[in-house]
Chains A and B, each alone.
Chain A
Amino acid sequence: MSVLLAAVVGGLFAIGTFLILRRDLVKVVLGVAVLTQGANVYLITMGGIEPGSFDTVPVLATHGDYVPDTADPLVQALVLTAIVISFGTTALALALTYRAYQENETMDVHQWR
């Protein structure tokens, strides 16, 4: 597996974790978003990355018998739902952030213990 790919995924996880550890709540939400991207790319790499071509897209050309070696469709199905759900959860997190700010008048995670 490519070192660059691994480095980017690792970097996304590291930055996401670092952001989650901040005191500013918006940064925490951003960190979750970055982690999500990292996790999605991670999942895709588990299916194997190869240069794209007509055959590797997991949409079959015909109803016929010939089935080419496509990219792993299972990880794509997983990531597809993950993307949509991550939007739902990010929006929920933002709504929570907004409400928490209205209640507590601060964005500092540490003042909410």
Chain B
Amino acid sequence: MKTTARIVVPIVFVVAISLLLQGHNLPGGGFIGGVLTTGAFALIYVAHGLDYLEVGVLGRDVEPGAGVFEHRTVTAYERAFILGLAIAIGSGFAALLFGEPFLSQTYEIVHDVPIYHEIELATALVFDVGVYLVVVGGLLTILSVVGAE
């Protein structure tokens, strides 16, 4: 189980991020990337337990007996969905600055980039990153809090 997690989790993360980034043109997007990332975290929890991220990955000590809310990871999840909401709403207000209605999106195709030759930059991606962060943060908060019980 732990070995599987060790191999699978990085792959899932990469896939999730790529799904997020290419979501505008291929299957994917903030919602899918978000749930997939959550799935990867869930795999870590099932394999290693809640404290693994703190102790095993970041090398911090966890106070024994502290409640789930003292977990820095949980705080990080909370921050993630708050940040995500802020990004999504902020990207909406950014459109107002250019005199467009709330949440208008636009895109620009950048040419002459090495390797890719041309890259499409869509402002929608910013909004999608917001969606991604909310989904990851929100679902992980729920999962870790319920899981800790």
Contact = CB atoms under 8 A, between A and B. Distances in A.
* A–B: direct contact at CB < 8 Å: yes
A95 to B, nearest CB: 6
A84 B27 CA distance: 16
Given A59-B26, A81-B31, A88 B149 contact: no
Nearest to B35: A84
A18 interface: no
Interface residues of B, number: 16
Interface string A76-108: 000011011001100110110010000000000
A91 B142 contact: yes
Contact of B34 (A84, A91, A95, A98): A84
Interface of B: 25-27, 29, 31-32, 34-35, 135, 138-139, 142-143, 145-146, 149
14 contacts: A59-B26, A80-B29, A80-B31, A80-B32, A81-B31, A83-B31, A84-B35, A87-B35, A88-B138, A91-B139, A91-B142, A92-B142, A95-B145, A98-B146
Interface of A: 59, 80-81, 83-84, 87-88, 91-92, 94-95, 98
